[in-house]
Amino acid sequence: MHNVRSNTFKRTWFNRFIPFVVPLLILALWQWLTTSGVVAANILPRPAQVLEAFIRLLGNGELLNNISISAKRALGGFLIGGGLGFLLGVLNGISSLAEKIADSSVQMIRNIPHLSLIPLVIVWFGIGEEAKLFLVSLGVFFPVYLNTFHGIRSVDPGLIEMGKVYGLSRWSLYKDIILPGALPSILVGIRYALGIMWLTLIVAETVAADAGIGYMAMNAREFMQMDVIVLSILLYALLGKLSDTIAKWLERRWLRWNPALSRK
């Protein structure tokens, strides 16, 4: 019994440590390249310099202010675009008529790179918050829509027929069979949309912004503050990882009935 507990404990800690191996190796390589002179300081700052910039900007409040502004933009755009994508995906998924009316138009718009619309969006909205919300919303709309639509259309027809046999109302059929069956696909769309959300925000904030992480990076570029630029890139990476971790946690929580997830 003791050996079983010991092996379980070791396996648990091993699984927790494994994800940090590659980042630690990259950090060690970064430290070696910058301290040995292989990479010049004006090309890539040392990790210690980036840490000093983090402490300095955290102390004067600039860092937290920019992070909160970027997070609000990202969350606002995700809620708008993701919400609309989910609703339209559900509508087109359960209604063939709605699919015939809207899906072709959505697919045509989807094939337009949304970041190529930045010049037009600036003309429409200027460089205010509306422009960033529009771009982020547009970016996250399509993966949520496609995966919601696909998930609903992929639900086993036998389950739907069984629900009808048991006398479920239309609402109960959607709530208890169709949406739970489509949920794995919907959550995949959400994880993909979260990545696009941060990618879009990075570009939007570096092109047209007066605050946020992207603005902080572009402002640092003007003064050749490489430590702040690298810090900004790392912040985007960490925020993206945090978003993905939250999405994976939701998967485990909402899909506990799924045998594939229960083995993880």
Output the domain CATH number for residue 146: 1.10.3720.10
Return the number of other C-beta atoms located less than 10 Å from residue 116's C-beta. 8
Residue 43 forms part of a structural domain: no
Looking at residue 19, what is its pLDDT?
72
pTM comes to 0.80
Same domain membership, residue 8 and residue 128: no
Same domain membership, residue 23 and residue 129: no
The predicted model gives 205-219 an average pLDDT of 79
Domain ranges, residue 18: 1-36
Whether the CB-CB separation of 163 and 176 falls below 8 Å is answered with yes
Same domain membership, residue 114 and residue 6: no
Residue 42 forms part of a structural domain: no
Same domain membership, residue 170 and residue 113: yes
Same domain membership, residue 181 and residue 69: yes
Residue 254 forms part of a structural domain: yes
Helix (H, G, I), strand (E, B) or coil at 72: helix
Q: Is the predicted pLDDT of residue 140 greater than 90, yes or no? A: yes
Residue 178 forms part of a structural domain: yes
pLDDT in tens, 241-252: 888 888 888 878
Same domain membership, residue 60 and residue 32: no
Same domain membership, residue 68 and residue 22: no
Residue 124 forms part of a structural domain: yes
Return the number of other C-beta atoms located less than 10 Å from residue 255's C-beta. 16
Residue 23 forms part of a structural domain: yes
d(CA 211, CA 87): 32
Looking at residue 256, what is its pLDDT?
73
d(CA 136, CA 117): 12
Q: Is the predicted pLDDT of residue 94 greater than 60, yes or no? A: yes
Q: Is the predicted pLDDT of residue 80 greater than 90, yes or no? A: yes
Looking at residue 81, what is its pLDDT?
93
pLDDT in tens, 44-54: 888 888 888 88
Same domain membership, residue 54 and residue 19: no
